Structure 1
């Protein structure tokens, strides 16, 4: 593994640690937590489109430049990555309702991270990783793909549930049913499961770094969402947890 590549992976692990600590003290100012004092803003739809489109595009460019770009397993992993980010970049933003906004600084920080993250994961899949066809039957791959697919399905379902809830009543309301019976943020739980599955399926340091960063970024936000629900709605279900049923 080239030293420069190893340093970039370690940088992502370091960013995960810094992000986790920072988000325990500062709630990221976008979505329902948007507030003044964070500089210029852009429409939320444009912000999501710009910052998320970086991942599938950078991944595709780096992957296509690698010697393993035509390998069967590499192509399967490429399709997994793109299945998530095509949704996040080119579907989700256009499903957003209302005139929400996002600070430019949040968008730019996300762009920077996504360039790093997509690059190290694509370079591993397209250049450094060695996956014989038999990897498709390896338990790590099979469990990883199952987790990835299940996490993606949960993530998309939870997003859709929230959109429909807001469309039917206007503004934020308490979601009920499905995974919302147990946790406040099944969309974040889905993403964590998804990228844990990616780490297993790729069995790579880059995949592990991304899984760690996903937890570091989304677990504190789930806790903040959970607290927000309780502040806004006195009748919010007391038995519901923020992220992991019966635990957190």
Structure 2
């Protein structure tokens, strides 16, 4: 249980970053993807940017995890596998599948990388050092519900990414209305899935670090999903009127 003082401080920082992020995104659209624009400094290839900013979530998590006293415990290893299921996809598979040509500001990459270092540290240290889960945790309703939510969210997230990649033929530019899957109900099911994942992680770990990550994820993605929804409706007069931004029939 050592290190609670510094650990609690880092978790508090993450909660604070969630507040800063949601306030900032209410005023500013993060300048990457469809909102890419000049005035944000030098840029790099989006593929390179994604690998650089997301890979600390794999590398730092594993390094911190291996330093924990419970690194060989069954539950810790299961949680490690869950984490890697998302971040190996996000850091290494997703960038390779991206269309070439898009760019993102170095500033965005640096800020995301710093967050991922912080987030990986607090979550890995909880899982491998502070949590101290008994094997029976794997049958606890909180873990089971969290795992189902996590993997359901991951499936929605990955399928939605694939739908977006296939909207345009090779060499084609511009945007189209996505259809199929969870796009039947919401404009950004990739974000809905990712929020669901980390809410599931918070349940499965039953930890302050997991809760901080779930709150931060929502603070980061809810405003962007609302912006996406407004962008689609403004750009496409025939956009489905019954589709919501993030939560079917509600938001």
TM-score by length of 1: 0.98
Q: Could you say what the CA RMSD is over the residues aligned between the two structures, in angstroms?
A: 0.9
Q: Which residue of 1 aligns with 2:203?
A: 200
For residue 124 of structure 2, what is the aligned residue in structure 1? 122
Q: By how many angstroms is 1:139 displaced?
A: 0.0
Distance (Å, rounded) in 2 between the aligned partners of 1:98 and 1:227:
26
Distance 2:204 2:17 in 1: 23
User: How far apart, in 2, do the equivalents of 1:143 and 1:247 lie?
Assistant: 23
2: CA distance, partners of 1:22 / 1:42: 23
Deviations 1:146-189 (A, max 9, x none): 00000000000000000011237642100012210110000000
Q: CA deviation at 1:78?
A: 0.3
Q: CA deviation at 1:239?
A: 1.1
Equivalent residue number for residue 76 of structure 1: 78
Give 3-state SS (helix, strand or coil) of 1:59's partner: helix
Deviations 1:36-57 (A, max 9, x none): 1101000000000100111010
Aligned counterparts, 1:95-114, within 5 A:
95-114=97-116
Q: Could you say which residue in structure 2 is the equivalent of 1:181?
A: 184
* CA shift for structure 1 position 238: 1.3
Q: Which structure 1 segments of 5+ residues have no match?
A: none
Distance in 2 separating the partners of 1:46 and 1:175:
26
Q: TM-score, normalised by structure 2?
A: 0.97
Q: Secondary structure at the match of 1:42?
A: strand
The 3-state SS of whatever aligns with 1:108 is helix
